[in-house]
Homo-oligomer: A and B are copies of this chain.
Amino acid sequence: MVTPTDSEPEGTRPPPARRRPGGRTARIRTQVLDAVRAELGEHGYDGLTMDAVAARSGVHRTTVYRRWGDVGGLLADVLDAASDDDWQPPDTGSLEGDLAALNQEIQTAMAAQPPIMAALIAASFRSEKAADAQQRLWEDRYARCEIVVSRAVRRGDIPPRTDARRLLIAATAPLYHQLVLLRTPHDPQLPGHAARTAVLAAAAGAFAEPEPPSADDT
């Protein structure tokens, strides 16, 4: 759900006639953010320095300092770049299937080696800039996932006026709580269990918003 890849893929050959505005800027950003991810994956936050990122990226350190300011700025840009993709939530045909697949993505990303996602979350406790960017990324992901809930409402699986955000947080929170905070041992059933719990609660009306005070239907 989060693991960031390059946001601006560049063609292998430059366009022949007109130069893309920002082409060099975008290329530098790609090089630098790739280096941040690699350094973070290898050394974690404590080993991440502006100079190591500059050296690894091949971009002049003056440019790195001028454009990103500090390590927090680099991390924030990695997180912001992760939203520049076309990620969509799973579409399996059922709410429980979609949520289980989503949770599986989260569990897989959190267990990935190198642990980029885990390192980014940990870094958000060190840098306000990274924390703000991490929140923006989660906001982006939860917003994109709302379609999972509206599809379930349309299918009649859960009540109309279900609060999509509360349902999505209930479905995913046990993953984050256990993987990030409690650090429980790997449990292959966790994604499915958390999905099923949220679906049963949703079907029982746990996330139903109160009826609006209107008079046009009984």
Residues in A lying within 8 Å of B, measured CB to CB: 121-122, 124-126, 131, 134-135, 138, 166, 169-170, 172-174, 176-178, 180-183, 193-194, 196-198, 200-201, 203-207
Which of B122, B176, B200 is the one whose CB lies under 8 Å from A201? B200
- Docked Cα-Cα span, A198 to B177, in Å, equals 15
Residue of A121, A134, A204 with most partner-chain B CB within 10 A:
A204
Specify how many copies of this chain sit in the oligomer. 2
Q: Are B182 and A178 in contact (CB under 8 A)?
A: no
- Docked Cα-Cα span, A206 to B198, in Å, equals 9
Q: Are B182 and A181 in contact (CB under 8 A)?
A: no
Interface of A is mostly: helix
Q: Are A177 and B176 in contact (CB under 8 A)?
A: yes
State the Cβ distance, A55 to closest chain B Cβ, in Å: 26
State the Cβ distance, A79 to closest chain B Cβ, in Å: 13
- Docked Cα-Cα span, A182 to B194, in Å, equals 18
Q: Are B183 and A173 in contact (CB under 8 A)?
A: no
Starting from the known contacts A166-B197, A169-B177, A173-B177, 13 additional A-B residue pairs (CB-CB under 8 Å) come to A125-B126, A169-B174, A169-B178, A170-B170, A170-B174, A170-B197, A172-B177, A173-B176, A176-B181, A177-B177, A180-B181, A193-B206, A200-B205
- Docked Cα-Cα span, A166 to B194, in Å, equals 9
State the Cβ distance, A135 to closest chain B Cβ, in Å: 6
Residue of A122, A124, A169 with most partner-chain B CB within 10 A:
A169
Which of B121, B138, B173, B196 is the one whose CB lies under 8 Å from A174? B173
Query: A125-B122, A170-B174, A197-B170 given as contacts; is B206 within 8 A of A138 (CB)?
Result: no
Q: A200 contacts which chain B residues (CB < 8 A)?
A: 200-201, 204-206
Q: A196 contacts which chain B residues (CB < 8 A)?
A: 206
- Docked Cα-Cα span, A194 to B198, in Å, equals 11
A-B contact pairs, 27 of them (CB 8 A): A124-B181, A125-B125, A125-B126, A131-B183, A135-B182, A138-B181, A169-B178, A169-B182, A170-B170, A170-B194, A172-B177, A173-B173, A173-B177, A173-B178, A176-B177, A180-B181, A193-B206, A196-B206, A197-B201, A197-B206, A197-B207, A200-B204, A200-B205, A200-B206, A201-B201, A201-B206, A204-B204
